Amino acid sequence: MDDMDFPTPDVEIESVTPDELKARIDAGEVVTLLDARMESDYEEWHIDGENVEPINVPYFEFLEDDIDAHVLQKIPEDREVTVLCAKGGASEYVAGTLKEHGYDVNHLEEGMNGWARIYEAVEVERYDGAGTLLQYQRPSSGCLGYLVYDDGEAAVVDPLRAFTDRYLTDADELGVDLQYAIDTHIHADHISGVRALDAVGVEGVIPEASVDRGVTYADEMTLAADGDEFQVGDATIETVYTPGHTSGMTSYLIDDELLATGDGLFVESVARPDLEEGDDGAPEAASQLYESLQERVLTLPDETLIGGAHFSDAAEPADDGTYTAPIGQLKDEMDALTMDKDEFVELILSDMPPRPANYEDIIPTNLGQQEADDEEAFELELGPNNCAASQESLAGD
């Protein structure tokens, strides 16, 4: 039974939009969420947080006319409960059933699909280069991107295809011309927006080093080699080749202030090395990652900000709300950055999380080897990104 098969409740059910729910969570309000998806879906991916009380009771538990008492006992009676599912149909039905039993309930519009459409832009206040730097944040998957703009020009780094119109709208509202759409690497967790933006007149840029993986559209793109620079007003974006997560992994130093590291280094972890060549190639990739971090990243001034392409539940935002941190701080906080190579490789390989959902379809889609329409692309990337090594083993005491 899918969301379209659920009958409309006999009682009126209030709904909450994903943006409204996010605002309540951000404000520190205690929120109780009843997730009516299957346990396996819930375990893989759900809304969480310090002030979020998630409960998982699958929708089918509410289909019987006589609901088991033990099911109802799982639902708090002394507070408002927001019911959610994948797309919104099951949650409305479950909320209606609970309301008939006297519960204070509402439901999340469009469910987790709606949650996945939240995309926020937060200014990186510690950025002291030319112009302004924004960090795009997708809380559903932890995806991050960057928009730098100055003197009527702009560039976006690691854009998502699902938000192509958002970048164009933001540029228009800021009164700037979006000049470049830049990818750090061939992503495994989401569909890149570089080709979609290139198709509407933005210059698409991909790492030259990623072409050997089988990119089918390289002739249509600008290829960024180590040391290449792109000018956005008075801001300079310098290409820094940092292989390890993938053979083509490339970072971009934005006006000597922030290094957009893609999936190489995050504020709470480092890259996993197994998504390109699998387990057999992971040791060599981990060794390469160590060299990139030690020789290309950690040699930058300690005050240089690091901004990855993802954040996890273990990440702590900076005071400005962005997931950025100075290199010096990361050296102090992350044991993995001060180990010798053998220790680093052993640690990285010892405890990797599950691979990103649908990565075996996402990678060839981003290479241009297979096609996905907009809806298929959106469905492919639902879920956690899992592009980092395990955070638990990397941090210091």
CA–CA separation, 255 and 238 (whole Å): 8
Q: Which two tokens stand for residue 274?
A: 């197994």
CA–CA separation, 245 and 356 (whole Å): 14
Query: Element (H or E) spanning 195, and its range?
Result: helix 194-198
List 25, 75, 85, 345, catalytic entry? 85
Q: Which two tokens stand for residue 51?
A: 């002030």
Give the CA distances from residue 8 to residues 94, 103, 230, 260, in Å, rounded to whole numbers and listed in that order.
10, 18, 54, 47
DSSP state string for 255-271: TTTEEEEETSB-SS-BB
Q: Is 96 helix (H, G, I), strand (E, B) or coil?
A: helix
**How many Cβ atoms from other residues are within 10 Å of residue 125's Cβ?**
14
Under 8 Å between Cβ of 34 and 81: yes
255 Rama sector, left if φ>0, alpha if ψ -120 to 50, beta otherwise = left
Among residues 86, 2, 6, which one has the least CA distance to residue 44? Answer: 86
Under 8 Å between Cβ of 97 and 65: no
Tokens 């100055």 correspond to what residue?
A: 150
CA–CA separation, 74 and 55 (whole Å): 8
Residues constituting the chain: 397
387 is catalytic: no
Q: What are phi and psi of 308, to 5 degrees?
A: -85, -175
Q: How far apart are the first and last CA of the chain?
A: 47
DSSP-assigned letter for residue 4: G
What is the set of active-site residues? 85
